[in-house]
Amino acid sequence: MTDLLRVEALCAGYGQARVLDGISFAMKPGESLALLGRNGVGKSTLIRSLMGLTKRHSGSVFFGGADLSAASPTRRARAGLGWAPQERAMFPSLTVEEHLTTTARPGPWTLEKIYEVFPRLRERRLNMGDQLSGGEQQMVAIARALTTNPRLLLLDEPMEGLAPIIVQELAAVIGRLIREGGMAAIVVEQHARLALSMTERAMVLDRGRVVHESSSESLLRDSETLGRLVAVAA
């Protein structure tokens, strides 16, 4: 099978500052990857670089067979990259339903399908962005990425700042999405064990470089490596 995503020797950052220092990896269609590493190692920067939101110094990003290295964020989204940002990006003046329809594109993830997976959002469909709890905002951010019907879903710390009981609930939904949704996914998560339990492969970053790649299952069993490379919360 040909690669869906191929990143080659990517160096990128903000202005002259280099954060990513020669990142290379590839993903097949439908594959899931846990992207792990301590705070500040460049996980969000890698996700933003895939979306075309950082300064690329060198290296390439191929997606769906096309060279998107210099493509705009809009073109990348149109090509099938769907991003749920770490900072959630809610609009206080838009309703939940408006958040879900403004960037929607045709595909299996219709509004109806979204409400099946997130019944809470159906209940909240007429609420404004600033009337939502943290967990509901995370659901909107994920659902909004899904309504673009991406071929690769990028989830940047979807469980950040949520109460443990909500984390478990949302993790179950995300795990199901990844297994049954048909799309590829990259999950950035501080809850390393949780991310590993819902993905097939794992990649760990340290100071802008890939320092570990394995199956998620084997990293889950390797407490020594996990403890050394990742701050393990649970």
Ligand X SMILES: Nc1ncnc2c1ncn2[C@@H]1O[C@H](COP(=O)(O)OP(=O)(O)O)[C@@H](O)[C@H]1O
Q: What is the binding site for ligand X (CB under 6 A)?
A: 14, 17, 19, 37, 39-45
Residue number with CB closer to ligand X (58 or 131): 58
Residues near Mg ion (CB under 5 A) are 43-44, 86
Residue number with CB closer to Mg ion (43 or 124): 43
Strand 5-14, strand 17-27: pairing: antiparallel
Residue number with CB closer to ligand X (15 or 106): 15
Q: How far is the CB of 51 from ligand X (least distance, A)?
A: 13
Residue number with CB closer to ligand X (94 or 211): 211
Q: How far is the CB of 89 from ligand X (least distance, A)?
A: 14
Which residues, other chains included, contact 9 with Cβ-Cβ below 8 Å and sequence gap of 6+?
Answer: 22, 23, 24, 58, 59, 60
Q: How far is the CB of 114 from ligand X (least distance, A)?
A: 27
Q: Nearest to residue 118, comparing CAs of 136, 98, 94?
A: 136
Contact 153, 146 (CB under 8 A): yes
**Is residue 36 classed exposed, middle or buried when 0-12, 13-18 and 19+ CB atoms within 10 A define those classes?**
buried
Q: How far is the CB of 167 from ligand X (least distance, A)?
A: 18
